[in-house]
Amino acid sequence: MPDPVQTVHQALDSFRIETPSWGYSDTGTRFGKFHQPAAAIDLDDKLADAAHVHRLTGCCPTVAAHVLWDFAPGTDPAVVASKAAALGIGIGSINPNLFQDQIYKLGSVGSPFENARDQALAHIIDCIKLGQVTGSRAVSLWFADGTNYPGQDSIRARKQRFEAALKEAHSHLSADQVMLVEYKPFEPAFYQTDLADWGMSFLTAKKAGPQAKVLVDTGHHYNSQNIEQIVAWLLDEEMLGGFHFNDRRYADDDLTLGSIDPYQIFRIFHEIHGFARERGAYPEIEYMIDQSHNLKPKIEAMLQTVCTAQELYAKAALVDHEALSAAQRKGNIVDAEICLKKAYNTDVTAMLGDWRVGRGLAADPLQAHRASGYTEKAAAERAKRRQDLGIATEHSYA
């Protein structure tokens, strides 16, 4: 077994996590949102917060953008990319909005109405082109499309509409872009969702073209579903394009990573490390966060998730694959499981701290953030700006 410190440090050196712009602003649930004084007001604030997280962690060089929320009409994407670069980060995945407009009441690219389908496809293509200007590698597609009642629409016709639209969109990708196709079992469509599981996304991406891959959101699954098995299959088929990291108790809860089931995330990372060991190289995977921090302080919640991801990724790198393979060949179930549990139970806190300090970072990013006074300064400055802009909010806690 290689030196564990060296193994952890090598694993962390290449591990990059993208934070979402919407995770820094006052987002919430369908029932409401609880405003925070330091929450980002505009894209400039979101970029500043994302850059702050990257400075503290050293592993979050890009920020995902949600087009209709981040690129107001008339916004120059080249200027946005320049602002991000000046802060030491880049614009990451481009996320089209295919669910908010009234025309999408019965779906976007799956809608029975041609004008809705045309608008959705044009928006996706615009987002692809926007990404080419900002230097973004990934265009991340999530669809709310589906039906609520039996007989509402033809399920097969909706499938065919999706295939045609994504194939056309794929033809607009540059050589270095990827199209990530996400799935979700339900909500807001409750009878049938057009892309309800990994198999549907897999088949749709395959038909779209070779630069289309599947995006796995760890919250978009039914309870007790074996997500690492899905990951293993997608890896073996070379169709795993990316993750949206969060945690869940029920379904799409968007909780901070590892807050409910950290062992599951460890098992997912174990599949990736094992695949890389067999193939001799790690696959190109977009590791992204997708969370709504409605109760926890925005930046603290983001730091929690990033640091938990690093910790679990490091632990998964420590699995003794030779011992595991030997136990598997013998059918020794107990020893095989112990190989995973031993790595999972390893305290990697000091190893992570040493890695950070060796790269000029604080050993504990969360404590460094709290000591920096960033939240207090942002809250004061943004409170004044809200007042100047006439934005009325009630802050229930600091």
Report how far residue 391's alpha carbon sits from residue 39's, in angstroms, rounded to the nearest whole number: 13
Per-residue pLDDT, 126: 97
Bridge partner residues of 95 (DSSP)? 66
Report how far residue 9's alpha carbon sits from residue 227's, in angstroms, rounded to the nearest whole number: 26
- CATH, domain 14-389, list 2.60.40.1730, 3.20.20.150, 3.30.565.10, 3.40.50.720: 3.20.20.150
SS3 61: coil
Per-residue pLDDT, 392: 66
Q: Which residues contact 41 (CB under 8 A, 6 or more apart)?
A: 25, 382, 385, 386, 389, 391
Does residue 302 contact residue 232 with C-beta atoms inside 8 Å?
Answer: no
Block means of pLDDT (10 residues each) for the chain, 398 residues, are 92 98 85 88 97 98 96 94 98 97 98 98 98 98 98 98 98 98 96 98 98 98 96 98 96 93 98 97 97 92 98 98 98 98 98 98 98 97 90 56
What strands, in cross-sheet order, belong to the sheet with 286-289?
Answer: 19-20, 62-66, 90-95, 138-141, 178-182, 212-217, 240-245, 286-289
Phi, psi of 245 (to 5 degrees): -90, 135
DSSP 236-248: HTT-EEEEEE-B-
Q: How many CB atoms lie within 10 A of CB 283?
A: 15
Distance of CA 76 to the CA centre of its chain: 25
pLDDT digits (tens, 9 = 90+) for 371-382: 999 999 999 999
The alpha-helical segments, DSSP class H, found in the chain are: 4-13, 43-57, 67-70, 77-86, 114-134, 155-170, 198-208, 227-236, 262-279, 298-317, 321-330, 333-344, 349-358, 365-372, 374-389
Report how far residue 343's alpha carbon sits from residue 273's, in angstroms, rounded to the nearest whole number: 13
Does residue 231 contact residue 276 with C-beta atoms inside 8 Å?
Answer: no
Per-residue pLDDT, 121: 98
Report how far residue 257's alpha carbon sits from residue 242's, in angstroms, rounded to the nearest whole number: 16
Q: Which residues contact 115 (CB under 8 A, 6 or more apart)?
A: 103
Q: Which two tokens stand for residue 45?
A: 């604030």
SS3 147: strand
Per-residue pLDDT, 394: 55
Bridge partner residues of 71 (DSSP)? none
Single pTM value for the model: 0.96
Q: Which two tokens stand for residue 55?
A: 């400075």
pLDDT digits (tens, 9 = 90+) for 293-304: 889 999 999 999
SS3 324: helix
